[in-house]
Structure 1
Amino acid sequence: MARAPQAAAEAAARNSYGRLLAYLAARSGDLVAAEDALGDAFAAALAQWPDRGAPDNPDAWLLAVARRRLADQHRARGMAAAAEPHLVLMREEIEAAAAEPAVPDRRLALMFACAGPEVDPSVRAPLMLQAVLGLTAAEIGSAFLVPPGTMGQRLSRSKARLREAGRPFTSPPLEAWPERLGDVLQAIYAAFAKGWRELGEPEGEALATEAVWLGRLLTALMPGEGEAEGLLALMLYAEARRPARRCPAGDYAPLEAQDVARWDQAMLAEAEAVLSRASARPGASGRFQIEAAIQSAHIARRLSGLDTWPDILALYDLLRRLAPSPVVELNRALVLARIEGPEVGLAALRCLNDDRRIADYQPYWAALGRLSAETGQVAQAIEALILACGLSDDPAERRYLEGEIAQAKAAGMQ
């Protein structure tokens, strides 16, 4: 009996949290208070809907409860008299929006607000992921190769400083967006990457879809921004391959084993067109344009059979100068292995051994295991692949890695 209303509350949390929070924050000018109020509203939904049933318009119900919580917060702080005109206006706007079938989607505006000067630069993109897309500190930490506890502390401190500052948390005008664009792109990319890694999970696919939607909206609102177009192209290249990342039987298929006939050709064509527009913009290419070009080269290699590995290596060399990271070094090492042999790739990969940021990064251990196996270092290969298997949350990917472990063991017995 309680299952359907609880499912309705969980669906509202998945599908509406970011939109509702963005609307409340825009109206109240207080992100932290809006977040607290909306959290209380969802808690009330979980407590009341199982007994009373889910409302016909869950978003309107949640907004009404959150609005009351915001008013209570102002009164508790002794600001009722000063805030009364503002609260009346906010109530009227929220009630008017609640009467509509859907709440206006202001998530992108909230993301640009999170990139304001009052927010520490290191926390801007993580704050967007938590506030707008509802990711946990652990999920955000994984995206930025930062321990969950450290990321949680950074986010908490940032919110505390926002509250202590007492300045309205408002979205900037459109003309101020370009100076904040880099942080917003980073957050959208991190959200997409998380959704991309969660292969076979509906939540992951939904998150990747949301990121692509935000990317499309961003390029429409900011025409002529080559990096925004580069990010959209990058996501489209990857998303076009989603159907082929699982075999018909459900097994995991890496890029080299994917059936290209199952790629979304229309989406690939769109990605090519978007990247071409971005490349034609004046000025040097940015990080996302280069990453999109790498994906384009991989697609061309698989579709045409051309050897694009040297081009891919040149692009990674450019990327490591522009935006160095252990992930770039990892991928570059794999390309080196294709061009100069697994020994050279493994030597490049070992340069990351002491980098704590990748201690729990599953792709690093999978790559180390594969290159070790290719160079005949069976014991190291098995150890690395077992670690990679343990760090994977995807059953299909674990089965694939277990197959590689079995092959390495068989090779060691010969």
Structure 2
Amino acid sequence: MMEPASLPPAAVAHVARASYGKLVAYLSARTRDVAKAEDALAQAFLEALNRWPKSGVPESPEAWLLTVARRQLVDHNRRVLTAERGRDHLLLLAEELDDKPRDIPDERLSLMFACAHPAIDVRMRAPLILQTVLGFDAATIAQAFLVSPTTMSQRLVRAKAKIKDAGIPFRIPDRDELPERLDAVLAAVYAAFSAGWADPLGVDVQRKGLADEAIWLARLIVELLPKEPEALGLLALLLHLDARRLARRDEAGHFVPLMEQDPARWQAPLIEEADGLLREASRHYCIGRYQLEAAIQSAHAIRRRTGRADWTALERLYDRLFDLTHSPVVALNRAVVIAELRGAPAGLAALDAIAEDKRLADYQPYWAARAELKARLSDKAAANDAYLRAIGLESDPAVRNFLEERRRRALS
């Protein structure tokens, strides 16, 4: 048990967050009500935040949280007990009375596929997984999917109600049912990794360990579907990105952009494993988004051997990816590649072509790219405006400092 005196609230929050998805999945499978499971677990977390700093973290934090959450559910069912809830109430009560210590089964993958059920709005499957399995709040999810927090919150509430009302089972579906649900599960794993990727030093309690957890889930999906090319592609993509984790900050903690990173600091075993997965995926002759994104990262990783990214391959890959996704973020990255191949004017023209897309209005990388290209063209006023916009949109202090330094350099 950790000593209370050395237990700041952040440490308590980290212990709680690490158990969130596993406990929600376990409780949801028994109550068949995700929202109620989340509410009960939220109360358990609150009690932990109040008690653990004084008493210390219990020997088994997950079991402690589960016990408190289960009591919350039992108490709630007693107040509103109906015939249809009787079975769930008795099950919870029986578990509450059985105080024998036991391992809590990890049912997160079952919950993820329940959230990806065809009865759930296709737009909400990945966001629902992010909230129920990984504990993201609606505002964070909204930012990832470029919609307003209010809209996302309302949609999540409706989606959780649908799971309950439609009686969606909490199980890994049969093999013939998997493909139609897989896209949402892969998208949620990727979004979880991206959230952890935004905190490379692991200092954000809410994001700590998310990248590792996402890679673990991706490996689990590949074990489940070893011949699914997009599952292989996603794992390859995550490993390529994770290989560069240590190179994204220098020894002083300063942000280092991709093209200025030292390839010697990239983790060669992860890159080799990623390329092997990508080759395996290619044997199935079904190219998808994650394979293309992994191939893009591989075209950057070739700089380890040649000293230069394969910009020609990158343009072709981004063209194919845009044809597949029509994503403004893909168009933005393509514009950056065009600037490297054909110069800043061509890159800026590609940026101008997507400037009216409202989804980019508050997207920091768009303004950072625009600032960089304006600076290359010696348009100091426009570069300054774009850098200020990017700095205002960035939450990471290291990236803000990097952008501020670039802004000063552009104005000198």
Q: Which of residues 228, 233, 244 is equivalent to 1:230?
A: 233
CA contact (8 A) 2:71 2:96 kept: no
The CA distance in 1 between the partners of 2:271 and 2:47, in whole Å, is: 44
Verify: 1:244 aligned to 2:253, yes or no: no
Q: Secondary structure at the match of 1:223?
A: coil
Q: Secondary structure at the match of 2:134?
A: coil
Which consecutive unaligned segments of at least 5 residues does structure 1 have? Answer: none
Aligned pair in 2 of structure 1 residues 400, 7: CA closer, same or farther (>3 Å)? closer
Amino acid of the residue matched to residue 280 of structure 2?
R
The CA distance in 1 between the partners of 2:98 and 2:339, in whole Å, is: 60
The CA distance in 1 between the partners of 2:242 and 2:99, in whole Å, is: 33
How far the C-alpha of 1:94 sits from its partner, in A, is 7.3
CA contact (8 A) 2:336 2:369 kept: yes
How far the C-alpha of 1:302 sits from its partner, in A, is 4.6
Verify: 1:37 aligned to 2:50, yes or no: no
The share of aligned pairs that are identical, in percent, is 48
Aligned pair in 2 of structure 1 residues 29, 156: CA closer, same or farther (>3 Å)? closer
Show the 5 A alignment for 1:11-410: 11-79=14-82, 82-92=84-94, 99-100=101-102, 102-163=103-164, 165=165, 167-175=167-175, 176-203=177-204, 204-281=207-284, 283-305=285-307, 308-410=310-412
CA contact (8 A) 2:264 2:304 kept: no
Aligned pair in 2 of structure 1 residues 374, 7: CA closer, same or farther (>3 Å)? closer
Number of aligned residue pairs: give it: 406
Q: Secondary structure at the match of 1:132?
A: helix
Q: Secondary structure at the match of 2:36?
A: helix
CA contact (8 A) 2:127 2:156 kept: yes
How far the C-alpha of 1:307 sits from its partner, in A, is 5.9
Q: Secondary structure at the match of 1:66?
A: helix
Aligned pair in 2 of structure 1 residues 260, 78: CA closer, same or farther (>3 Å)? same
The CA distance in 2 between the partners of 1:8 and 1:290, in whole Å, is: 38
CA contact (8 A) 1:30 1:168 kept: no
How far the C-alpha of 1:119 sits from its partner, in A, is 1.7
How far the C-alpha of 1:161 sits from its partner, in A, is 4.1
Relative to the length of structure 2, the TM-score reads 0.92
How far the C-alpha of 1:28 sits from its partner, in A, is 2.1
Amino acid of the residue matched to residue 382 of structure 1?
N
Amino acid of the residue matched to residue 301 of structure 1?
R
The CA distance in 2 between the partners of 1:330 and 1:193, in whole Å, is: 17
Runs of 4+ in 1 over 6 A off after TM superposition: 94-98
Aligned pair in 2 of structure 1 residues 231, 371: CA closer, same or farther (>3 Å)? same
The CA distance in 1 between the partners of 2:230 and 2:200, in whole Å, is: 26
How far the C-alpha of 1:149 sits from its partner, in A, is 2.3
Relative to the length of structure 1, the TM-score reads 0.92
Q: Deviations over 1:103-132 (max 9, x none)?
A: 222212211110112321111100110111
Bigger drift between 16-25 and 304-313 goes to: 304-313
The CA distance in 2 between the partners of 1:263 and 1:94, in whole Å, is: 49
Which consecutive unaligned segments of at least 5 residues does structure 2 have? Answer: none
The CA distance in 2 between the partners of 1:97 and 1:105, in whole Å, is: 19
Q: Secondary structure at the match of 2:251?
A: coil
